[in-house]
Amino acid sequence: MGAALIIARRDLMSFFTSIKGASIFFFFLIFMGVFFQNFVATFAELTAQAPQHGGEAPTLEQLTRAIFYNLHFILILIVPAVTMSAFSEEKRNHAFRLLQTSPVTSLQIVLGKFLASTSLLGFVLLASTVYPMFTVLYGNPDVGVILSSYLGIFLLMCGQVAFGIWISSMTSNQFIAFLFTMFGIFMLMILNWLAPHITGGGTLENVAKYVASTEHLDSFFKGLITVKSTMYFLCFSAMFLFFTNVALDSQRWR
């Protein structure tokens, strides 16, 4: 684990010593801010209109859920931007030879890269708390739901990072790594909507829905931390970390 932490620390520092880290924070907070401002404006408008039209006013839970769905969507762009360089960049500039010739295992390298990316994205998630914080300051939302939503997003993000570094381990082209990771994460998000159309129903549809990340995330967004959904994200992450390890080992023999 020691070597994994050394690798993770270096990679994390490199995000912050280059413009990459700052750019990720900048675009993430801009996107989140713009959407948040729109959600709040709509929320205020609907609340004001509710008594006049005799309908129900929207709840703060609906607002916070909208924020988290939005966060889920923005991760489609942010996660590939972080993971694309995990291996691709070092392979392109030959710095990967340093790791290959050091007394560290492939698993330590994979864990180091995974920890670096999840740490950076963890800081990004931490920065995003400013938006739900407003709802706490100016309303009375269920804090438990907010916390479980964050746990769900974090677990999802771990799975996405594992998938992203797997893609990055197979190419030295960062752009290709970005595109394929984004495509994979997007497919995972829409799989439960596509499932009825591509499977023809039955067991296959249920399997496709189980594989889709959105189904599992929904339970966290409702404030439910279930073993089934937690295990889904943990297994998903472990599977792609294993694939990355296999990819690194197999590349020695090509």
Partner 1 sequence: MIEVTGLSKSFGTLQALDDVTFTVEKGQIVGFLGANGAGKTTTMDILCGCIGADQGTAKICGYDINEQPLEAKKRLGYLPDEPPLHLEMKVRAYIEYAAKLRGLKGTKIQERTNYVLGKLEIADVSHRIIGNLSKGYRQRVALAQAIVHDPEVLVLDEPTEGLDPTQIAHIRDLIRSLAPEHTIILSSHILTEVQNTCDHIVIIHKGKLIRQGSYEEIVKEAESGGVYRLKVAKNEQALIGAISGFKGIKYSNFNQEDGEIEFGLEANDFDTLDLIGSKVIEGGYGLRELTLKTRSLEDVFFQITK
Site residues (vs partner 1, CB under 8 A): 3, 6-7, 10, 14, 17-18, 90, 93-105, 252-254
Smaller CB distance to partner 1: residue 38 or 105? 105
Nearest distance, CB of residue 245 and partner 1, angstroms: 14
Nearest distance, CB of residue 9 and partner 1, angstroms: 9
Nearest alpha carbon to residue 165 among 127, 126, 208, 121: 121
Smaller CB distance to partner 1: residue 90 or 241? 90
Smaller CB distance to partner 1: residue 177 or 248? 248
Place of tokens 């189904």: 215
Residues 104 and 38: their CA atoms lie apart, in Å, by 49
Smaller CB distance to partner 1: residue 20 or 222? 20
Smaller CB distance to partner 1: residue 24 or 99? 99
Nearest distance, CB of residue 105 and partner 1, angstroms: 7
Smaller CB distance to partner 1: residue 7 or 188? 7
Please state the three-class secondary structure of the chain as a single string.
Answer: CHHHHHHHHHHHHHHHHCHHHHHHHHHHHHHHHHHHHHHHHHHHHHHHHHHHHCCCCCCHHHHHHHHHHHHHHHHHHHHHHHHCCCCHHHHHCCCHHHHHCCCCCHHHHHHHHHHHHHHHHHHHHHHHCHHHHHHHHHCCCCHHHHHHHHHHHHHHHHHHHHHHHHHHHCCCCHHHHHHHHHHHHHHHHHHHHHHHHHHCCHHHHHHHHHHCHHHHHHHHHCCCCCHHHHHHHHHHHHHHHHHHHHHHHHHCCC
Nearest distance, CB of residue 27 and partner 1, angstroms: 20
Place of tokens 């439910």: 224
Smaller CB distance to partner 1: residue 53 or 252? 252
